Chain A
Amino acid sequence: MTEVEETLKRIQSHKGVIGTMVVNAEGIPIRTTLDNSTTVQYAGLLHQLTIKAKSTIRDIDPQNDLTFLRIRSKKHEIMVAPDKEYLLIVIQNPCE
Chain B
Amino acid sequence: MPTSPSGSRKSVSHLAVLQSKKSISFTEKAKEALKKGFSGVNQSRMGVSRNLVILPEMKTTEKVNVPGPKTVQVLDENGVDVTPRPLYSSDPGAAKPSKLLSSQEGSLGSDIMASYSMYQNTLNPSVMGQFTRSALGSSTISKSSISATESMAEDLEEPSYKGEKLASFTGVMATTWDLYDSFDALKLSSSAGKRYAVESSSKANVLPKERLEQKLPAALTDKTSETSSLMDLENVILSKVHEDEEDHAEAIFKSDKFLQDLFFMERVLMENIFQPKLAAYRQLPILKEPEPEEPKEFSECVKVEEVEEVKEEEEEIEISEEQTIPANLERLWSFTCDLTKGLNVSSLAWNKLNPDLLAVGYGHFGFKEQKRGLACCWSIKNPMWPERVYPSPYGVTAVDFSIGTPNLLAVGYYNGTIAIYNVQSSGNVPVLDSSESPQKHVGPVWQLQWIEQDRGTTGDDKREFLVSISADGRVSKWVIRKGLDAHDLMRLKRTTVGSNKKGGEKDKKGEALISRQAPGMCFAFHPKDTNIYLTGTEEGHIHKCSCSYNEQYLETYRGHKGPVYKVTWNPFCPDVFLSCSADWGVMIWQQENFRPFLSFYPTTHVVYDVAWSPKSCYVFAAANESRVEIWDLHASTLDPLIVNVANPGIKFTTVLFAKHTDCLLVGDSDGQVAVYELRNMPTASDCGRVRLKQKTESFTQGWCHMPVSQHLRRLRQEDCECEAKLSLSLSFSLSVALSLPLLSHTCVCLKSTQL
A residues with CB within 8 A of B: 1, 3-4, 7-8, 10-11, 14-17, 22, 24-28, 30, 40, 43-44, 47-48, 51, 54-55, 58-59, 62-63, 68, 70, 74-75, 77, 79, 81, 83-86, 88, 90, 92, 94-95
Contacts and interface: CB of A to CB of B under 8 A. Distances in A.
B385 interface: yes
A86 B251 CA distance: 11
B269 interface: yes
A62 B177 contact: yes
B261 A59 contact: no
Nearest to A96: B273
Nearest to A50: B94
A88 B268 contact: no
A89 B171 CA distance: 23
B101 interface: yes
Interface in B129-183: 133-134, 170-171, 175-177, 179-181
A3 B98 CA distance: 29
A63 B384 contact: no
A95 B289 contact: yes
B304 to A, nearest CB: 14
Interface in B258-292: 258-259, 261-266, 268-270, 272-273, 275, 289-290, 292
A26 B262 contact: no
A85 B263 contact: no
B257 A83 contact: yes
A25 B180 contact: no
Given A62-B180, A81-B264, A88-B265, A26 B99 contact: yes
Given A25-B96, A26-B101, A83-B257, A4 B262 contact: yes
Task: List the 6 shortest-distance A-B pairs measured between CB atoms, nearest first.
Answer: A62-B180, A58-B177, A81-B261, A62-B177, A94-B272, A27-B101
B98 A25 contact: yes
Contacts of A24: 245, 248-249, 252
Contacts of A90: 265, 269
Majority secondary structure, B binding face:
helix
Contacts of A48: 101-103
A24 to B, nearest CB: 6
B586 to A, nearest CB: 39
Contact of A14 (B101, B134, B273): B273
Nearest to B263: A7
A44 to B, nearest CB: 5
Interface in B61-115: 93-103
B253 interface: yes
Contacts of B97: 25
Nearest to B275: A94
Interface in B237-258: 245, 248-249, 251-255, 257-258
19 contacts: A4-B262, A22-B252, A26-B134, A28-B245, A48-B102, A51-B95, A55-B171, A55-B175, A55-B177, A62-B180, A68-B268, A74-B292, A79-B268, A79-B269, A85-B133, A85-B248, A85-B251, A92-B269, A94-B289
B133 A44 contact: no
Best-surrounded residue of B261, B263, B289 (most CB of chain A within 10 A): B261
Best-surrounded residue of A8, A28, A62, A79 (most CB of chain B within 10 A): A62
B170 A7 contact: no
Nearest to A7: B262
Interface residues of B, number: 50
Interface string B711-729: 0000000000000000000
A30 B272 contact: no
A14 B382 CA distance: 12
Contacts of B266: 7, 10-11, 14
Contact of A70 (B102, B254, B268, B289): B268
A58 B251 CA distance: 27
B98 A47 contact: yes
A3 B263 CA distance: 10
A17 B133 CA distance: 32
Contact of A88 (B96, B170, B176, B261): B261
B351 to A, nearest CB: 22
Contact of B100 (A26, A59, A83, A95): A26
Contacts of B248: 24, 85
B128 to A, nearest CB: 14
A84 B266 CA distance: 20
A79 B134 CA distance: 25
B262 A88 contact: yes
Contacts of A47: 96, 98, 101
Given A25-B134, A75-B292, A55 B94 contact: yes
B254 A1 contact: yes
Contact of A51 (B103, B258, B384): B103
A15 to B, nearest CB: 5
Contacts of B272: 16, 77, 92, 94
B149 to A, nearest CB: 22
A84 B102 CA distance: 14
Contact of A59 (B177, B181, B269, B385): B177
Interface string B619-640: 0000000000000000000000
A10 B269 CA distance: 11
